[in-house]
Amino acid sequence: MANLKKTVPTLVKDPELIKKRREQMIKGAVRLFIEKGFHRTTTREIAKESGFSIGTLYEYIRSKEDVLYLVCDAIYEEVKNRLAHHLDTNSQGITRLKKAVSAYFQVIDDMQDEVLVMYQEAKSLPKEALSYVLQKEVEMTEMIEQVIRDCVSEGVIFIQDAQVKVVAHNILVQGHMWTFRRWQIQKQFSLEEYTNLQIEQLLQGINYK
């Protein structure tokens, strides 16, 4: 059964205003979480960074954990949507897989601060909320899996179903590594160099033509 989206209570009835204020809140919180981390950031600081009072903040959320949930939910959704947008469904064969990996790595590079915050702080979410946001990563993995399965169906990759899942997870982790170890990797490689090396390593590990 799919995990259900958590409803964050609000005292405001206007959906457009809720959307606008929460977008401000998310941007402000991300900046603070990058700088200080979730636990060292206060709701008062989030309100100030978002451009409104602490009283206004509590019209749209009830706790700091609600803010973290909104942040993680928004970042996962943005990464997933960008990946879906950039996946090349017109190309075929191994070219499509290469383009999918490149597209994913580019999305991670574009949003590396947000991705870093998401993975560092998501563990502080309540169990149900964490389960929901992590389901979005499952969906991203399935998008990569589908590209690999298409290559298998086209007869250009020869791997079993279990291997498809492992390869998809490996690709996701390689993308994460560009962010998590950026303090070292980004000093040694450009994104293009890193992507090409990871694709080369990926293809060495599977039977393809």
Residue-wise pLDDT tens digits, 161-206: 889 999 999 999 999 999 999 999 999 999 999 999 999 999 888 8
Would you state the pLDDT for residue 1?
40
Neighbours of 23 (CB within 10 A): 13
Contact present, 32 and 41 (Cβ < 8 Å): yes
What are 85's two structure tokens? 């947008």
For residue 157, what are the β-bridge partners?
208
For residue 208, what are the β-bridge partners?
157
Residue 209 has pLDDT above 70, yes or no: no
pLDDT band at residue 4 using 50, 70 and 90 as cut-offs: low
**Domains parsed from the chain with CATH numbers:** 64-207 (1.10.357.10)
pLDDT band at residue 3 using 50, 70 and 90 as cut-offs: low
